[in-house]
């Protein structure tokens, strides 16, 4: 498997940028998909957003300066696309945030693609009860095991603020699960 730096070099060398981009997609699509899926819940919505992410990445990759890592850049695009999708969904249906989270929770219950057990479902519902920013931070740290330094680049927020958000998210999830 090629490193991100090698893939970017292949892409920018111009010999076969399509092939290089295809390798980038294959390397990162699963982790980016799951990041999106944990935010929007629906498999179909996650697939649509994933396609949008890679279309945007394809269009912008030529001007990618490499100030951050490729995966960090892709996660930033994915996060923005997923949050924009949720915002449009909320606006389109004139849903307050609580109703959107309730709808996402119901989608989780009805999702035939979801393979988690009852405990995992309860954890997912607890995560859905978090404010949007805490939900993103929790998912990046807990599921993607992303370092705070990388999260800082993805979310354009200080590491200290991210650590605080993660800490608050964990406490809220623990409280939700214990039923307090």
For residues 177 and 123, what is the distance between their CA atoms, to the nearest angstrom? 7
Range of weakest confidence among 97-106, 153-162, 164-173: 97-106
**What is the tens place of the pLDDT at every residue in 86-108?**
888 776 665 555 455 555 556 65
Which residues contact residue 19 at a Cβ distance below 8 angstroms, ignoring those fewer than 6 apart? 10
pLDDT at 151: 95
Range of weakest confidence among 22-36, 44-58, 111-125, 144-158: 111-125
pTM of the model: 0.81
**What is the tens place of the pLDDT at every residue in 119-154?**
677 788 888 889 889 999 999 999 899 999 999 999
pLDDT grade for 35, boundaries at 50, 70 and 90: very high
Do residues 126 and 172 make contact, with C-beta atoms less than 8 angstroms apart? Answer: yes
Transcribe 148-173 into DSSP letters.
HHHHHHHHT--HHHHHHHHHHHHHHH
pLDDT at 111: 58
pLDDT at 170: 95
Structure tokens at 161: 């603020």
Q: Name which of 110, 130, 132, 131 is nearest 121 in CA terms.
A: 110
For residues 128 and 170, what is the distance between their CA atoms, to the nearest angstrom? 12
Structure tokens at 2: 């090629």
First-last CA distance in the chain: 47
pLDDT at 102: 58
For residues 172 and 152, what is the distance between their CA atoms, to the nearest angstrom? 22
If one counts every other C-beta atom within 10 angstroms of the C-beta of residue 138, the result is 21
For residues 22 and 140, what is the distance between their CA atoms, to the nearest angstrom? 24
If one counts every other C-beta atom within 10 angstroms of the C-beta of residue 170, the result is 15
Assigned fold of 4-178: Rna Polymerase Sigma Factor; Chain: A (1.10.1740)
Residue that has been written with the tokens 């992303």 in this structure: 146
């Amino acid at each position: 498997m090629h490193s991100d730096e090698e893939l970017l070099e292949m892409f920018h060398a111009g010999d076969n940028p399509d092939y290089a981009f295809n390798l980038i997609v294959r390397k990162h699509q699963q982790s980016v998909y799951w990041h999106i899926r944990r935010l929007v819940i629906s498999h179909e919505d996650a697939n649509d957003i994933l396609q949008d992410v890679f279309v945007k990445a394809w269009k912008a990759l030529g001007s990618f300066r490499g100030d951050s890592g490729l995966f960090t850049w892709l996660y930033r695009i994915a996060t923005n696309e997923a949050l924009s999708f949720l915002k449009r969904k909320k606006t389109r249906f004139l849903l307050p945030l609580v109703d959107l989270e309730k709808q996402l929770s119901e989608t989780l219950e009805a999702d035939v693609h979801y393979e988690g057990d009852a405990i995992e479902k309860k954890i997912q519902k607890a995560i859905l009860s978090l404010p949007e920013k805490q939900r993103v931070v929790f998912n990046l740290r807990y599921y993607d095991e992303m370092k705070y330094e990388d999260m800082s680049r993805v979310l354009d927020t200080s590491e200290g603020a991210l650590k605080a958000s993660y800490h608050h998210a964990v406490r809220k999830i623990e409280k939700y699960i214990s039923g307090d």
